[in-house]
Structure 1
Amino acid sequence: MSPSVALRHLSGVPGRPLLVVGPSLGTTVDRLWGTVAAALPGWNVLGWDLPGHGASPAADRLTPGFSMAALADAVLAAVDEAVGSAVPFGYAGDSVGGAVGLQLALDHPDRVTSLAVLCSAATFGGPAGWRDRAALVRAEGMAPMLASSPARWFGSAIPEERRAAALGDLATVDPEGYARVCEALGGFDVRARLASLGVPLLAVAGAEDVATPPAVLAEIADGVADGRLEVLDGVGHLAPLEAPAEVATLLGDLLGSAAHSERSRAVSRARSASRSASA
């Protein structure tokens, strides 16, 4: 059974090129990406919330859990319902949101035109630790995560008001939804598939990220055909929240370059078709 995710309109208007953005575990997409989205006026930006987070409904304990592939399919289904099944889009995601981006680009290469993976990984260390965290929040609620997340999340540059707002969102997360995302992260591993990823990829690391340090993002950038790495000073695990201006600039450059390349490919295809018709 597919998980339930809610799609949010963050900025822009229909008809502009589409950008889909995804959240980190324990965050809401509007908090994490809202400032970045507002700085990309040429794009129609849609974001999605994880099950039990933000606008997405709480997980039904009577239903089975889900894999990262099923979560990616649920995101694509929500996008299709909103804009149509033939619309290509750029994608950017932080942490689990970045993992979903990798899954989407690998499983649906005809839909994703460019990919930004922020503070994320091609695998998150196997299931054992994630099973333990899932069991903890099921037993004790979100209080243990409120205590431990600041050390995993934040670098030295984040303003206190953003830090407090993110922790306020974490306190409202449905523990079962959080637990199921943990279990999906434990089963995620696309390292062997990275070389087949054909879209331009930007990997963004926080220099102070202890959860997915720069070396982890470098592995992604080096493992794909067209990848590059950027490291942001003073930033931890939530780059779009901690350094929105820098992330918006990097993302704007990626999206603009990918759009130019796609236009060039379209012109080349049209010329080839014209020559074939004339032959």
Structure 2
Amino acid sequence: MHTVTTLADLRPATEALRASGTLALVPTMGALHEGHLALVREAREAADHVAVSIFVNPRQFGANEDLDAYPRQLALDSALLEVEGVGLLWAPSPEEVYPQGYATNISVAGVSEGLCGADRPGHFDGVATVVCKLFNQVRPDIAFFGEKDWQQLAVIRRMARDLDLTLPHVEAIHGVPIVREADGLAMSSRNAYLSADQRATAAALPREMRAAIARLAAGDPAHSVLPALTGELLEAGFDSVDYAELRHGDNLAPTAGAAPGTRLFVAARIGGTRLIDNMPVVG
């Protein structure tokens, strides 16, 4: 695996890969877990070469969020990617991505509003900006993102479509299903922040979401199911629930009840850790 940290080295490296086949990109912020590796394996199935980026993007962290505390383990991540057969690791510094005087921001209306966009102002601007830069830097044929961050995936697809980015078509941006722990909790780098007791509590999130979905599928109205879900999570030990909402999976428009394409979206906090999850209500 070839590791590069500067744009001057990246461009010839990606050109060499593209000269001998298709190139897939898996953007990450590192602290890799099985969910990330599932993206890499999907990418290897779909393309001749795989590039992975590791960049903890400061522009998607709010003033009171965990940028400094976010786990960084480049050596371990690199070893994991080597085993998975990744051809290129792009691991730039913040100064390489946002040089002195950088002044450009990308904002995606609509799909970035509500849900995590309401609780994390500016977050999706940072996501859209860095992913646009990564697409232009690596120029992949196809890219892979996890469906745990469903709103992020919707923002990236809209951004790529609207800006006519270098990927050949928006369908080249692939969502990969959530990888879960044995108790159902969605894998996340932030799970490492949880104490043993908090980790046990966290298992209530997918469990109560599945119970709420069963009630919705049985015809119970969302206006009674969603407040009940919030109450169950608080009773289970969560400190707060940022949102529990039904939205259409494609455009993230709010929905009043179960319908084809509907998903349940939840964000809840334990201590200083914010967990998110989403599940289909009706396929």
Which structure carries more helix by proportion? 1
TM-score interval, smaller chain? 0.3 to 0.5
TM-score (norm 2): 0.34
Q: Which has the higher contact order (CA 8 A, sep 6+)?
A: 1
TM-score (norm 1): 0.34
